[in-house]
Amino acid sequence: MDALPCSHRLMHSSRPIVSDSKASDTLLTSSNLLLRGSSIGASCFVSMGSKLSKSPSGFPNKAMRTGGSRRRPVSNVYDPRRAAESVIQEEAPQLLEIGPTLEVSPGKAFPLGATEAEIGINFSLFSQHASAVTLCLAIPQRGNSGKMEAGMVQLTLNPKINKTRNGLPRQGVLYGYRIDGPQGWEQGHRYDNKDVLLDPYAKLVEGRRYFGDVTHKMTKFLGKYDFASLPFDWGNDYEKPNIPEKDLVIYEMNIRAFTSDESSGLHPDIRGSYLGVVEKIPHLLELGINAVELLPVFEFDELEFQRRPNPRDHMINTWGYSTMNFFAPMSRYASAGGGPEAASLEFKQMVKALHAAGIEVILDVVYNHTNEADDLYPYATSFRGIDNKVYYMLDPNGQLLNFSGCVGDDPYAGASGSAPTAILPLFYGIEVGLGTRTPRVIEYHVDGFRFDLASVLCRGIDGSPLDSPPIIKAIAKDRVLSRCKLIAEPWDCDGLYLVGRFPNWDRWAEWNGRYRDDIRKFIKVGDLGMKGIFATRVSGSSDLYKVNKRKPCHNINFVIAHDGFTLNDLVSYNFKHNEANGEGGNDGSNDNFSWNCGHEGETTDSTIKALRARQMKNFHVALMTSQGTPMMLMGDEYGHTRYGNNNSYGHDTAINNFQWGQNDVTWHEDNWDNHESKFLAFTLHDHNLGEDIYLAFNAHDYIVKLALPAPPSQRRWSRVVDTNLESPHDFVPEGVLGIGSSYNMAPFSSILLLAKQ
């Protein structure tokens, strides 16, 4: 990677053009400063690396101080009752005027994006083929974030003088770029200087404030910065869990879907937010998981299907696999419509709280396609209008290639040599996605990444597979990234299936798709010839991973993931039922290796329901006892159903949302305020089969006589566990019947009763 962005000129070749040579190459010649009759913002016509300065006090001048309140650091957010108190109610900046006189001087090429320099704000953008760049700036009023373009003012700067002084505050400024360049569609260019484009390196993104708000579905997304807020307080006693890979138990989950349902019992302001996850940490601890793998949490446009009439225009992208920006946390996951600054803060609060509970955070990152659609229905929001030939893979005719199977094509991240600069933006993006910034300081403290359709990153500039893809190697060798959990989804949608063969440098782990398929085939109805393969899978898939220094922990075992059937649907449907997606049932996999246990879909037949319950347990037992790293899906702990939809990405409904009512708990306690009480009992209700579980813990030094609750209809309590009894009577898996309406519970003991027929 010998070519770097230039602070004075656009990139026209693999080498930077210096500021005093061939000025005509850039078409940046004007030095006029213009105001367009607006007082709410300013913009400048610049090359790469403009810098806008502040006064020594930190503000342009006293008259321009913002009216927003200063955020305070949070020392500890694990306590759920304190989490709501930490929600930031941030005041939007007041309307600021930027005067007509701006002092200008050269900026710096690195770091990319908007950064605070010693004497100002530095803006840097990478493009190899553009001929002109306009930096657009605006300072919004409260509630007006979606209507910025009309309020923007454009100022033109001389390309040799790329810094302005005395004009910008240190926070609350929105910015974007207008970019012009060659118009050769057949050469792969997609420039349109009418579009205001989002900075690929923006650390904050401002758009609509509330998830799925269709009244603002055409909102413009712009970059934003905040250099005035206090640094986040991670706490003096803060430590990352640093769990060895061999000990991980992963829970794949979606931030919004986890708590957005009313059954979560959370205040509406924090449902579906980062803080909502904090509130539900006790549930994660009860499951026994020690890592969450979060579906995409970088900025994406959930209303992308609703820009034009189409068969999917009723859907909302709730999974998030359509990235708009690889740097900024999803702003609509902030509580109470708090916006990008609150999202950044609350994401850190969530990570801190999870770490305090001993739970690591792994991010699902999508570097194989973006939100910008295809050439049939193009939607340039950022990459495509900045430099389509750099950010995307093209065929010899300049047309977009697609190995992701999505309407949104593939960012280029493969070959070196002819276009080495193409790797740089993506690699830098991955680093900042981790939370590193120059000089590699950890920002968000996440513990690892799962790379969606990672085989796309193993292709060259022409789409051909590479034996040693440079981006994959660079990540494995990087001194920061190599210490993180690195997980590949080792396939793409054009047949590059690399399970057990993913280029790994003994560092990368893989989603084991072979494990998923083979475990399903054996357990569903005992497919013939599967016994030996099943044994290989549960014993660590040595046929795939006993190579070089690879270990069983490099094998991520899973039966269920976000795409495909849920565990309940795996034992309830023989066929996918995706009619609600609007694609005529043509989407989603046809190879589910499922068995409906004798009836397709919902049933009241108790025999079939009992068989399905046993099958779900069989799958889970196999998963948790197999050698390797297990991963389960959110909702499978209670048998979540999507009613046979195996591709439910576009439903912001109960189809995807965690149903907390399916996990009902009755606490048998009316003495919560008695600090001397050392007894606790509760019932976990099974609304599906009626197999309720009663648990009690007695930490007193005397016997407690229990008045047991009534079991479900036509059920009796059976004793499964009583730790007071001698082995083997202390644990009887099939249960001991004859438990009446009361139970004498010994000192320092616990019991588990199961409702059985």
Radius of gyration for the chain, computed over Cα atoms and rounded to the nearest angstrom = 28
CB neighbour class for 503 (10 Å; exposed up to 12, middle 13-18, buried from 19) = buried
Q: How far apart are CA 461 and CA 471, in angstroms?
A: 13
CA gap 119, 103 in Å, rounded: 12
Phi, then psi, of 736 in degrees rounded to 5: -115, 120
Which amino acid is residue 392, in one-letter code?
A: Y
Helix (H, G, I), strand (E, B) or coil at 488: strand
Active site residues: 452, 489
Report which secondary-structure segment, H or E, holds 351: helix 339-356
From CA 490, how far away is CA 450, in angstroms rounded? 10
Which residues on adjacent β-strands are paired with residue 510? 488, 555
One-character DSSP codes across 655-683: TTS--GGGG-EEE--S-TT-TT--EEEEE
Angle ∠(445,449,452) on CA atoms, nearest 5: 150
What type of residue is 712?
Answer: P
344 to 208, 429, 643, 736, 756: CA distances (angstroms): 16, 16, 35, 52, 48
Q: Which pair of structure tokens corresponds to residue 12?
A: 């026209």
Residue 379 burial by Cβ neighbours in a 10 Å radius (0-12, 13-18, 19+): middle
Provide φ and ψ at 346, rounded to 5°: -75, -30
Euclidean distance between CA atoms 662 and 638, whole angstroms: 6
- What single DSSP character describes residue 431? H
The alpha helices in 362-481, defined as continuous H runs, are: 383-391, 423-434, 470-477
